[in-house]
Structure 1
Amino acid sequence: MPKQPQGGASDFQDRPPPPPDGAGDKRPATDDGAAAGAASAGAAPIASGSAGASATSGASGAEGASSASGASSTGAAPGPGRPVAERKKKYLVAPRAAPGAAFGPSALAPALGLQSVEQALQALPDIDVVETIATRASVAPAGFGPLGMAGFTPSGGGVFGDSGDGVVVARMTDQKAGELLQRGQGQLLVERDQHLRLLDPMLRRPDLVSSLTPYQGPQAELLLNVVGQDDQPLAEVEVSLFGGVLPSSAVTGADGVARLRVYGPDANSVSGLYVKPRADYWSFYQRDPDLSLDQPNVVMLKPLAEWPALRNMPQQNTVGWGARAMRLDQVPPQFGGQGIKVAVIDSGAATTHGNLNRIRAGFDVVNKHVDRGTWNADTLGHGSHCTGVIAATDPVWGIRGFAPQAEVHVCKLFPGGQVSQLIDALEYCIEQQIDVVNLSLGGGAPSEALERQIVRAKQAGVACIAAAGNSSGPVQYPASSQHVLAVAAIGKIGEFPPDSYHAETLGKDIDAQGYFTARFSCFGPQVDVCAPGVAVVSSVPPNNFAAWDGTSMATPHVTGLAALVLAHRPEFQSVLRMRSPERVEGLFQILRMSARPVATADPNYVGYGMPDALIALGLSTAQMSMPWHGQASSFGMPAAMFAGMDSGQRGGTGIGMASAGAGPGAMGLTLQSLPFGFAFGGMPPPGW
């Protein structure tokens, strides 16, 4: 089941990046001759042949545009203000071998090194170097960077005489990036630094306006009173109305009342009412609600703790439905993930929470220039929720995590995370010798720079487990990378109130046990496994609980189980003890082969199925007698797993990068499997 990155447009692709954070290194503009002199000989392709380009690119960016406007042929003085020009964006620039560098005349050119690239960029006009993320030269991804093709050693400079592999983050215009890519002669990676997003399914609201004409029709105020247990008013509850002329939303105040504007002659045109509490209660959704404009409308939310499966939570420690579905409740209590390091790259983790207060290590990637230690401030709650599923630690209070005795490292990437910062976070994981990384995030187009870092992490023995995405479309990147384990989301009937918004996630493939694929979950041959991702109850700041949906919630179930497997399965204390790509692939294989089919969907939606904790930990002998392992038994995978896939893509050895014709906004990646000692999707070799 080889993975092909999906190239769908990112939700953030056209969104402006955040303003400069002051970390940039502003350099005075120089001509390209000075740039060539300032750069080392290895950086010649960047600075050479650019005399003409410098004259045109000087008008790029705000500074260049200002100087260019003064050179008017009429000699007229410019008007007040600053001329509008193209805005600079963040780009990732890194050395790489030219296509076919091992053959022909291009092999004679010295390889670029990271330091040479940085020096050349600092000297070029209209390019602002923000930072350089250097990686350890001892871990270089095969097929990437200055090492080039297998068996090819650069003739000069490169990683051996320079500062190792990595990326330079710089601000420049698209025009400047195109020139830089052309001047690099195939030896430079130049790509836009994409924004990332957390993979929880956001409620999709229709566009607020459909024309430029302001709405002039009838409108009225609707009052909605939201109450909880003992009729207590609930504050900070999001309330949304859908349908009608225009949608409307509001947040309840301290009195529990939301004041919404209804557009139209009456409320009969409203097609949906959605009430989303901040914590501790189930959501509420009503199709075609009967609403009054003459008197307040009341919605009474149900407390999470009144649900039968969550009775007495949090005063009494509870196992969530997802953990029970994966049979964590039958795993001996001494299996706690001791000695394993897990990293959660997300929005932080609130150590004010009783289930998370034993976490001691972290790294605020976004805020690192100011304070690296603010990783424990989680304004979004997303990272706290994921971390609770993985490693909630209190044995008598709250929700039980999969690996409560694992060492958790929190890498805060949101809000505002970009690919460059994810690369930085993965470097932290390599340096800290993290065993498993949870990636409940995604982007748009595949990133060659990020793929290089994912490969480096895998070679260093770091296993990345990623959420497939919530767009109801093809698997998103980085889950579509073949070097990570992609997780889709499923739900189960009876694990949430029928009048909650969770009921809107039901697919049409409910099986006899009540499992179904979540309507929002992404699908494709890249999906490895699925896990519970609907109505998952976990920790949120400051010390509360919430039921959330998303492949973001499914992924930590698998990450937590992976930590248990590494800590307690004998193979990882013997033949797979050393950190290596074989260790990572061995872990992925065990998780795949422990899975059981759920729902009635094809493998594009559920992969191998939902991993079983007892089988993954070697505590059950039922694996080989299970009927689903009889399908396509020569490969150890469900039948039709490769339906629609090009069989020629499965047997490759190494990684090919198709860069011909690729501009700054197009990656053109073609990924093939690496010979890690396991046939992809196959049974382990003899002697396992």
Structure 2
Amino acid sequence: MRATIPLVARGAGGPAVARAVAADVNVIDSVSVDGPKLVEMSPGAELNLRLQEPSLKIVPLVRYEKMRMVFDIERQPSEAVSAAGAQAAVLKVEDDGGNPIENARVVAFTNFRNRAGDEGRSDADGKVALRIATGTTLERVYVYGPAGWWGYFERNFSLSQNVVIRLQAIDLAGQSLALRRFRTNLPLTAGDQIVVGIVDSGIDPQHPLLPNVSGGANMVLDETRDDPGQVADWGPATTDGEHGTHVAGIVGARPTAALDLAGVAPGVTLRSYRVFPHTGGGATNYDIMNAIDRAVQDGCHIINLSLGGASEDEAVRAAIGSALDNGVLVIAAAGNDGRKPVSFPGALPFCVAVSAMGWSDSFPTTSSEVGDIAKPFGSNSTFLGAFSNFGPQIDLTGPGVGVVSTLPGGRFGPMNGTSMASPAVAGYAAFLLASEGTILALHGAERSTALRDRLFGAATPLGFGRDYEGFGLPS
């Protein structure tokens, strides 16, 4: 039996690598001659290598997920039509004028605790057929609207025949929108001369609100190993690739006459480091580690990680530590496990961990975001998203419920999650760094530490409590 693991060689250098190869270790990829390696070896070879080279850090290959919050069906309901022989329920999704809305995702829970139910997407007529009998009462129904639309949420929803759900279009001029409220009076030049690295699912370079994307790299080893030219493929992943573009827009979207949507720091330069593969699924710690190192080499001042996992690993920890030593502040999502401990890498003491708050009046009263309103409640209609993790590692909170931002193809729409809160704080950090010439002039850990402290000092508590909001909301 062989296991694929990243091998972090620290302090051993080239000789250790040579001995590793001789010890029945297949080196698949190497960051540099003396840097981390991705290797394949048997358990016996691993044990021998540990004994021969105790200075080497050997950690398993693990995967990280995006910190966007959506609900999924995990099992079919007991009320499935196929079992009961009853008439299938058909929903119709429309706008306020009765026009059908295509490609809305409907998630219907007959048992929310067990994640049982069914889901589907609306067709050109706005219709969604569910494998649930007409007349069933759903515990919850969530509708995630297509680009340009808010979603829908309702408890104890009756599946009557040909029931209609109406969605509301997003009004970018709305003054209560989360990003507009968070950035308040920041100038459109906020973040000028600051470079922010987005380690994510890729950014759409053609989006009209993202002309400040200067490039990046595809860091997915499985895609670049046999074709180095694929390194230039840093745009959105083919599968579930909207996330990175949305995150990038939160940091630095630049409004146009046609689309009045501004990120927190429109003056920044953005760089895209894609770690989520075209085939879907999670990102490996090896690819994330490489992406962080590449962002540092490319001159990024701030790195955003809207991703996380359950347990710590030495590979990503070492990469983040190296980034901080090089003056780069790393900001990470706290995780979306519903009041569970802070996810890694946000849980690291030297990583800025961000929880997700929201304003209850920043989205329609029927939208899917309503289902995320939960205690604790704070000042000015604020609350902590029901999905957000918490704990003593939380440093700050940021808008993460109903955040409208950019989507691939020149579109826009809302997303929820600590994935959204983290880039909002990253954008604010960019604004502060651009405004503080004395901090920008510092080097190494002095700069990243000074920026972190300035960011904490700019926060205002909302009243949630330390474990939920850290120092509060930057303002």
Letter in structure 2 aligned against 1:277: G
**Cα 1:372/1:199, change in 2 over 3 Å:** same
Q: CA deviation at 1:358?
A: 3.8
Mean CA deviation greater in 196-205 or 229-238: 229-238
CA separation of 1:385/1:180 partners in 2, compared to 1, >3 Å: closer, same or farther? farther
Determine whether 1:324 maps to 2:174. no
Tell me the equivalent position of 1:617: none
Partner of 1:607: 470
Query: In the alignment, is residue 252 of structure 1 matched against residue 151 of structure 2?
Result: no
Say yes or no: does 1:550 pair with 2:412.
no
Residues 463-518 of structure 1, C-alpha deviations (whole Å, 9 max, x = no match): 10111111121011100111211111101111111211111111222234111111
Q: Do 2:23 and 2:45's aligned partners in 1 also have CA atoms closer than 8 Å?
A: no
d(CA) in 1 for partners of 2:333, 2:186: 25
- Paired residue secondary structure (1:305): coil
Gaps of 5+ in 1: 1-59, 61-87, 98-111, 135-162, 311-319, 613-688
Distance 1:478 1:359 in 2: 25
After TM superposition, give the deviation of residue 447 of structure 1 in Å. Answer: 1.0
Residue 218 of structure 2 corresponds to: 364
Shift of 1:172: 3.4
Which amino acid in 2 is paired with 1:453? A
TM alignment of 1:200-219, pairs within 5 A: 200-208=68-76, 216-219=83-86
TM superposition shift of 1:298: 1.6
Structure 1 residue 289: Cα displacement: 1.3
Q: Which structure is larger by alpha-carbon Rg, 1 or 2?
A: 1
In structure 2, stretches of 5+ residues that fail to align are: none
Task: Tell me which of 587, 591, 610 is aligned to 2:455.
Answer: 591
Provide the residue aligned with 1:406 in structure 2: 268
Using the alignment, how far apart are the partners of 1:307 and 1:217 within structure 2?
A: 48
Measure the CA separation in 2 of the matches of 1:596 and 1:432.
33
The CA distance in 2 between the partners of 1:206 and 1:482, in whole Å, is: 34
Alignment of 1:428-577 (within 5 A): 428-472=294-338, 473-573=340-440, 577=441
Which residue number in structure 1 is paired with residue 164 of structure 2? 298
- The letter of the residue matching 2:375 is K
1:679 counterpart residue number: none
- 2:446: which partner in 1? 582
**Structure 1 residue 128, shift from structure 2 partner:** 3.2
Aligned length: 457
Q: Letter of the aligned partner of 1:376 in structure 2?
A: G
Distance 2:76 2:201 in 1: 28
User: Counterpart of 1:235 in 2: which secondary structure?
Assistant: coil
Q: CA deviation at 1:357?
A: 3.4
Contact 1:361 1:410 in 2 (8 A): yes
Aligned to 2:21: 122
Residues 192 and 303 of structure 1: CA distance in aligned 2, closer, same or farther (over 3 Å)? same
Contact 1:378 1:541 in 2 (8 A): no
Q: Which amino acid aligns with 1:520?
A: F
What SS does the aligned partner of 1:247 have? strand
* CA distance in 2 between partners of 1:307 and 1:571 (Å): 36
Structure 2 CA distance, aligned partners of 1:449 and 1:384?
A: 26
Residue type of the alignment partner of 2:213: I
Alignment match, 2:152: 284
Contact 1:429–1:462, Cα closer than 8 Å, also in 2: no
Q: Which segment drifts farther, 270-279 or 589-598?
A: 270-279
Q: 1:171 aligns with which of 16, 19, 40?
A: 40
Match of 1:13 in 2: none
Residues 172, 261 of structure 2: 8 Å contact kept: no
- Of structures 1 and 2, the one scoring higher in RCO (CA 8 A, sep 6+) is 2
Q: Which runs of 4+ in 1 moved over 4 A?
A: none
Matched, 1:132 2:30: yes
CA deviations on 1:268-324 (whole Å, 9 max, x unpaired) are: 3422222112211111112111222xx4222121101288437xxxxxxxxx42342
Distance 1:219 1:442 in 2: 42
Match of 1:345 in 2: 199
The structural deviation recorded for 1:541 is: 1.3
Instruction: Using the TM superposition, give the Cα deviation of residue 177 of structure 1 relative to its aligned residue in structure 2, in angstroms.
Output: 6.2
Distance between the aligned counterparts of 1:237 and 1:522, measured in 2? Answer: 28
Indicate if the aligned counterparts of 1:355 and 1:398 stay in contact, CA closer than 8 A. no
Q: Whole-Å Cα distance in 1 between the matches of residues 252 and 48 of structure 2?
A: 45
Measured in 1, the distance between the counterparts of 2:319 and 2:234 equals 22
Matches within 5 A, 1:191-202: 191-202=59-70
- Residue 611 and residue 358 in structure 1: after superposition, are their counterparts in 2 closer, same or farther (change >3 A)? closer
| Aligned residue type for 2:66 | L
CA distance in 2, matches of 1:527, 1:358: 30
- 1:349–1:376 Cα contact (<8 Å) kept: yes
* Higher normalized strand content (fraction of residues): 2
Question: What is the CA-CA distance between 1:332 and the residue it aligns to?
Answer: 4.1
70, 94, 109: which one pairs with 2:8? 94
The AA in structure 2 aligned to 1:480 is: A
Separation (CA, whole Å) in 2 of partners of 1:184 and 1:465: 37
Letter in 2 for 1:372: V
* Paired AA for residue 152 in structure 2: F
The 8 Å contact of residues 179 and 263 in structure 2, kept in 1 or not, is answered as no
What letter is aligned with 2:31?
I
Deviations 1:57-85 (A, max 9, x none): xxx3xxxxxxxxxxxxxxxxxxxxxxxxx
2:286 partner SS = helix
Secondary structure of 2:136's counterpart equals coil
Q: Percent identity?
A: 27
Q: Does 1:383 align with 2:244?
A: yes
Residue-by-residue CA offset, 1:149-178 (whole Å, 9 max, x unaligned): xxxxxxxxxxxxxx43x21101235x3465
Alignment deviations for residues 320-376 of structure 1 (CA, whole Å, 9 cap, x no partner): 423423xx332344x432221110111111123211134231111113343111112
Q: C-alpha deviations, 1:28-66, integer Å up to 9, x for none?
A: xxxxxxxxxxxxxxxxxxxxxxxxxxxxxxxx3xxxxxx
Kindly tell me: are residues 234 and 116 of structure 1, through their superposed partners in 2, closer, same or farther at Cα, counting changes over 3 Å?
Answer: farther
**Residue number among 303, 309, 313 corresponding to 2:175 in the alignment:** 309
| Aligned partner letter, 2:9 | P
Task: Give yes or no for contact 1:227–1:298 (8 Å, CA) kept in 2.
Answer: yes
CA 444–171 in structure 1, closer or farther in 2 if over 3 Å, else same: farther
Q: How far apart, in 2, do the equivalents of 1:239 and 1:527 lie?
A: 33
Q: Distance in 2 between matches of 1:268 and 1:167?
A: 55
- Partner SS for 2:451: helix
Does 2:52 match 1:188?
no
For 2:409 and 2:433, the matched residues in 1 are separated by: 31
Encode CA deviations 1:617-653: one digit per residue, 9 max, x unaligned: xxxxxxxxxxxxxxxxxxxxxxxxxxxxxxxxxxxxx
Shift of 1:206: 4.6
Check whether the contact 1:322–1:531 (CA below 8 A) recurs between aligned residues. no
Any conservation in 2 of the 1:268–1:291 contact (CA below 8 Å)? yes
Describe the SS at the equivalent of 2:288. helix
Q: For 1:232, which of 77, 99, 102 is the aligned residue?
A: 99
* Aligned 8 A contact 2:333 2:418 in 1: yes
Deviations 1:525-579 (A, max 9, x none): 1111101111000001111111111111011111111111111123225xxx132
